[in-house]
Amino acid sequence: MTDTHPPEQNPEARWFGFREVAPAERSAKVQGVFANVARRYDIMNDLMSGGVHRVWKQVFVRAVRPRPGERVLDVAGGTGDIARRLHAATGGQAQVVVCDISEPMVGVGRDRAIDRGISPSLAEGGIAHLVGNAESIPLPDRSVDAYTIAFGLRNVTHIDRALAEARRVLRPGGRFFCLEFCPVDAPGLRRLYDLYSFQVIPRLGQLVARDRDSYQYLVESIRRFPEPPALAERMVAAGLSRPRWRSLSAGIVSLHSGWRT
């Protein structure tokens, strides 16, 4: 199928970390990364962030404010960490759906939910898990009240397509939320952040997940992700209005939000 999107609309589509690749190759490589790290993914998140990722996720879920009876879609939800927090925030009264392109990650998330006594059925008040691409979500138009994506948008090959899909599945008045790492601007902090990112994280990946290359990619992918003002412009272009962002931890992470009108 012919790619109808001009390259400049999705400049990150040709980058796998710092390596230039064809967009189709990038998608396959990203799937390989998460298939490799699925079982150790949550442990690595704790080690890499010193547990601070839990605070970021708490702030994220408070911003979403899921309500009883709502349907919330968590895209690139992987092991279900965010989905379980969203589910718990309403006492299991919201319908939470996880969608992730990596079948191994989805399997880990489903198993962990079941281990915690959470049904895989929405009809039983549980969390549903789908294997699907953020660029082509297997849900009908205007079918969810809130769309969340945490630390996943930078792994999408065509970000603009994913943003357009977010608008498509959101009901009018629905809310969009994205939590993502950012390139750090402050010179002193940037030097420390780069040193830790490039010297420590890949080594942790090798020791804990037995996979240095996947964590090297994850570190590099942050540097290819658009800065908050640029992402806000792309949200508006996709039809998500009133974009806002909030920096966390001195700009290491940003929380983005918008509305589907």
Q: Round the average pLDDT of the chain to a whole number and report it.
A: 93
Domains of the chain plus CATH, in order, are 23-185+214-260 (3.40.50.150)
Residue 4 pLDDT: 47
pLDDT at residue 8, rounded to an integer: 52
- Strand residues in the chain grouped as ranges (E): 15-16, 19-20, 71-75, 95-100, 127-131, 144-150, 170-181, 240-248, 253-260
- pLDDT (tens digit, 9 = 90+) per residue, 161-210? 999 999 999 999 999 999 999 878 777 888 999 999 999 999 999 999 99
Q: How many Å is the Cα radius of gyration of the chain?
A: 17
Instruction: Give percent of the chain with pLDDT exceeding 90.
Output: 89
For residue 2, what pLDDT band results from cuts at 50, 70 and 90? very low
Residue 7, pLDDT above cutoff 50: no
Q: What is the pLDDT of residues 63-87, one digit of tens each?
A: 999 999 999 999 999 899 999 999 9
DSSP 152-188: -GGG-S-HHHHHHHHHHHEEEEEEEEEEEE----SHH
**For residue 194, what is the enclosing H or E element?**
helix 187-195
Confidence of residue 35 (pLDDT cuts 50, 70, 90): very high
| pLDDT tier at 24, thresholds 50, 70, 90 | confident
**Of 230, 228, 153, 223, nearest in space to 190 by CA:** 223
Name the token pair of 51: 């547990």
Question: What does the pLDDT look like over 84-120, one tens digit per residue?
Answer: 999 999 999 999 999 999 999 999 999 999 999 999 9
pLDDT tens digits along 40-70: 999 999 999 999 999 999 999 999 999 999 9
Q: How far is CA 209 from CA 33, 42, 192, 216, in A?
A: 11, 11, 24, 12
Rounded CA separation 84/127 (Å): 8
Predicted local confidence at residue 185, as pLDDT:
76
